[in-house]
Amino acid sequence: MKRLRLFLGTELPVLAILAFGLGPWLWMMLTSVRPTLELTHSPISIIPGSFTLVHYITLLRRTSFLYNLRDSLVVASGAVVLGLLLSLPAAYAFSRFRFPGRHVLRIQFLVVNMFPVVLLVLPLFILMRQLGLLDTYYALIMGHATFTLPFAIWLMTGYMDGLPTELDESAMVDGATRLQLLRLVILPLAAPGVVAVGLYLFIASWNEYLFALMLAGRHVRTVTVALQMFIGENTINWGLLTAGGTLVALPVVFLFLFAQKRLVSGLTGGAVKG
Amino acid sequence: MKRAALTPWLFLAPALIATCLLVLGPVLETLWLSLHDVVLFRPQVRPFVGLANYVTALHDHTFWDGLGRSFVWVGAAVGLQFALGLTAALLLNRQFWWRPVARALVVIPWALPSVIIGLVWTWMLDFNLGIINQVGVDLGLLSGPVPWLAQPSTAMAAVILAITWQGFPFFCVTLLAGLQAIPREHYEAAAIDGAGAVRSFRYVTLPGLMPVMSTALLLRMIWVANSLDLLLVMTGGGPGTSTETLPLYAFLTAWSGANYGYGSALAVLLTLLLLAVVIFYAVRSGK
C-alpha cells in the first residue's frame, strides 16, 4: 500500500516529467537513424522500421559539417583559455583583497550580465570590422569569453572563498609573490572549481548562436550556425538535421552531466547562504 | 603601502579591460548610435538627430506591439518554467530509489543549444510529419493537423512551449538545491506543532525557498526577455509579426532593416525596462 502510494504520488509524476524532458531529445536521435523513406511519408511510426547511419555518413562526407565541428571546437577551447585567464585573477582579487570599490565592481559585473545581446552585437560587429577580425576565430573567442565572464568570475570567487587563507599567509611568509601564490598554491587547490568554470565556458561557447552568426559565419562557421543554415534551405532534410543535432548535443550533454553538481552549487551558493 | 593598494587592481585589470573594450564600449556606442540617423547603405553620413529615434519609437505601433508580446513571452514562459520546475523539484526532493538518475537526467534540455531546441520542436510541430499532430489526431485531441508555427494564433504558444522545455530544468535544479538547504528540524518542529502537508509547505518550505526563488526568477526573467535564438530559429518573428518580441524587433530593424540608429534606440529602451525590473528587485530585497 505504501509502495503504491509512493509510485502514484511520486514516481509516476517524475516519470511524466522525465518523458516530457527527454522525449524531444530522444525523438531527435530516433529520427536521425531512420531511412529517408520513413521521413517523407506520414504517418511516422514511433519505433523506426529499420536502422540506418546514412544521414551521419552523408552529413560528414558531403557537407562541411566536419569543418563546422572543428570551428566550434577551436572557438570553444579558445573561449575556455581566455575566459580562465581573465576570470581567475579577477576572482582572486575579489576573494583575497578588501579594497574600496570592491562591492560596486562585483555588482558591475552582474549588471553587465544583464545587457541584452542585441545591444552588444551590433557595435561589436562594427568594432570587429574595424579591427579586421570579422569572420575569424579571434572575434568569436573574444565575444564568447566576455559575455560569459560575469558568471565565470562569480563561480570562481565562490570556490576561492572556500579555500583557507592561512595557506596564502604561510606562502607569503616563505617569500612567494602574489602571482606565484596564485599559480602554485591557489590554482592546484581550486582545480575542481577551475574545471567547473572551464566546462561552463566551453558549453556556453559551444551552444552560442547569435555572436557566431553575426561576428563570423562564412569562413568560420560554428555548428549552431551551420545547422540553422540547413533549415533555411528549400527542402528541409530532417534526417541530416537531426543527425547534426544529435552530434552537437552529445558532448554538451556529457559535459553537463559531469559538471552539474559543481555548477549548481556555484549558482545557488550565494543565494542559499542568503 | 601604495603598492599593496594597487595589487588587487593589477589582478582585476585583464577582466576590467576586456569588459570595458567588449561590453561597456559597445553599450556606449549603441547609446551614441541611437542618437543618430545611421543606415547601412550610407555609413559616412550619420547626422545627429537627438532623441528623434526615441520619439519615433513612442509613436511606433510595432514597438508597442513588440513590447506587449514581450510581456506575454516573459510572463508565460517564466511562469510555466517556474511552475513545472517547482513541481519537479518538490518531487525530486522525496525519497525513491532511482532518484539520483532522475535528478541527473532532468537537466538535459537545459544543456542543449537553443538552435537544436528550435530544430527539434520545429520538427515535432511540423504540419505534415510532426509527431505532435500525429499523436494528437490519433488520440482524438486534434480534429486535424494544425500548422502550429505557420499561423499567427498558435505560433507564439508553440515557441513558448519550446522555451518552457528548455528552461524548466534551471528552476528544478536551483529550487532543489534550495529545498535541500532547509534544515530537517524545521519540518519536524512543524509536524510536532500539528502542521499538515499544506501548512508545512506554506510556513516552512516557501519561506525557506524564498531567497533562491526570487534570485532564480530574476535571472530567468532577464534571460528570457533577452533571448532571441529560439524565436529566430523557429519563426523569425512571423508569421506576420505574431512572434516579434521587442529584442527581436530591435535586431531585425538594425540588421535586416539596416537601420542601426533606430535599432539601437529600441535596444536601449529594452535595456532601460530591464534595469527598472532589476532596481525594483534590488530595492525590494534590500528591505
Domain ranges of chain B: 48-286
> How many other C-beta atoms are found inside a 10 Å radius of the C-beta of residue B280?
11
DSSP reduced 3-state for B36: strand
Domain borders along chain A are 56-273
Chain centre to alpha carbon of residue A80? 10
Q: Specify the DSSP element, H or E, that contains B23.
A: none
Count of beta carbons in the 10 Å neighbourhood of residue B47: 9
CA separation (Å) from B126 to A245, B119, B237? 17, 10, 17
Determine whether B6 is exposed, middle or buried from the number of CB atoms within 10 Å of its CB (0-12, 13-18, 19+).
exposed
Report in angstroms the alpha-carbon separations of A196 from A255, A273, B20, B63, B228: 10, 20, 26, 41, 27
Site of grid cell 567588449 = B22
Taking the C-alpha atoms of residue B246 and residue B225, their distance in angstroms, rounded to an integer, is 9
Q: Which helix (H) or strand (E) holds B228?
A: none
Interface test with A, best of B2, B23, B176 (most A CBs within 10 A): B23
Alpha-carbon B7 to chain mean position? 38
Our CA-based measurement puts residue A65 at a distance from the nearest CA of chain B, in whole angstroms, of: 15
**B-chain residues within 8 Å CB-CB of A257?**
104, 107, 111
Q: Nearest 5 degrees, angle CA B234-CA B240-CA B241? A: 75
Of B11, B104, B122, the CB nearest to A89: B11
**What angle is formed at CA A272 by the lines to CA A270 and CA A274, rounded to 5 degrees?**
70
Cα A84 from Cα B167, distance rounded (Å): 26
Q: What is the pLDDT of residues A101-125, one digit of tens each?
A: 888 888 777 777 778 888 788 888 8
Quick one: closest CA in A to B96, which residue? A11
Q: What is the pLDDT of residue A207?
A: 93
A229, three cell numbers = 543554415
What's the CATH architecture for B48-286? Orthogonal Bundle (1.10)
Q: Are B139 and B255 in contact (CB under 8 A)?
A: no
Residues B191, B200: Cα–Cα separation, whole Å: 8
Rounded distance between C-alpha atoms, residue B104 and residue B5, angstroms: 45
Main-chain dihedrals φ then ψ at residue A2, nearest 5 degrees: -65, -40
Q: Beta partners for B48?
A: B36
- pLDDT at residue B2, as a whole number: 61
Q: Which of A88-97, A183-192, B28-37 has the lowest mean pLDDT?
A: A183-192
Judged by CB atoms closer than 8 Å, whether chains meet at A18 and B247 is answered as no
pLDDT recorded at residue A234: 61
Between CA A200 and CA A255 the distance in angstroms is 9
DSSP symbol at B142: S
The maximal CA–CA distance of chain B, rounded, in angstroms, is: 79
Q: In whole angstroms, give the CA distance from residue B177 to residue B166.
A: 19
Pick from A83, A80, A93: nearest CA to A161: A93
pLDDT in the model for residue B1: 47
Q: A244: nearest CA in chain B? A: B116
Distances B48 to B38, B53, B257, B267 between C-alpha atoms, Å? 9, 10, 19, 18
Question: How far is A153 from A88, CA to CA, in rounded Å?
Answer: 7
Q: Does B115 contact A209 at a Cβ distance shorter than 8 Å?
A: yes
Instruction: Return the DSSP state at B151.
Output: S
Cβ pair B123:A241 closer than 8 A: yes
Query: Do residue A119 and residue B30 have CB atoms under 8 angstroms apart?
Result: yes
CATH of domain A56-273: 1.10.3720.10
Instruction: Find out whether A96 and A168 touch, Cβ atoms under 8 Å.
Output: yes
Residue B3 is predicted with a pLDDT of 66
φ, ψ of residue A162 to 5 degrees: the values are -80, -10
Query: How far is B158 from B154, CA to CA, in rounded Å?
Result: 6
CB B167 within 8 A of CB B81: yes
Nearest residue to B268 (alpha-carbon basis) of B77, B63, B128, B115: B63
Residue A70 has pLDDT above 90, yes or no: yes
CA atoms within 13 A on the CB side of B282: 9
- The tens digit of pLDDT for each residue in A234-245 reads 678 889 999 999
CA distances from B139 to A47, B124, B226 (A): 18, 16, 37
Q: Assess contact for A264 and B177: CB atoms under 8 A.
A: yes
DSSP codes of every residue in chain A: -HHHHHIIIIIHHHHHHHHHHHHHHHHHHHHHTS-HHHHSSSSPPSS-SS---HHHHHHHHHSTHHHHHHHHHHHHHHHHHHHHHHHHHHHHHHHH---TTHHHHHHHHHHHTTS-HHHHHHHHHHHHHHHT-TTSHHHHHHHHHHHTHHHHHHHHHHHHHTS-THHHHHHHHTT--HHHHIIIIIHHHTHHHHHHHHHHHHHHHHH--HHHHHT-SSSS--HHHHHHHHHHSSS--HHHHHHHHHHHHHHHHHHHHHHHHHHHHHHHHHHHH-
pLDDT tens for A148-183 read 898 899 888 888 888 888 888 888 888 888 888 888
- A-chain CB neighbours of B116 within 8 Å are 28, 224, 227, 245, 248-249
User: Is A189 within 8 Å of A160 (Cβ atoms)?
Assistant: no
CA–CA dist B92, B100 (Å, integer): 9
pLDDT in tens, chain B (287 residues): 466 788 889 999 999 999 888 888 888 988 988 898 887 767 677 788 888 889 888 999 899 999 999 999 999 999 999 999 999 999 999 888 898 889 889 989 988 999 999 999 999 999 888 999 999 999 999 888 999 999 999 999 999 999 999 999 999 988 988 888 888 888 888 888 888 888 888 888 888 888 888 888 988 998 999 988 899 999 988 898 899 999 999 999 888 877 888 989 999 999 999 989 888 887 877 65
Chain A residues 183-202 within an 8 A CB cutoff of chain B: none
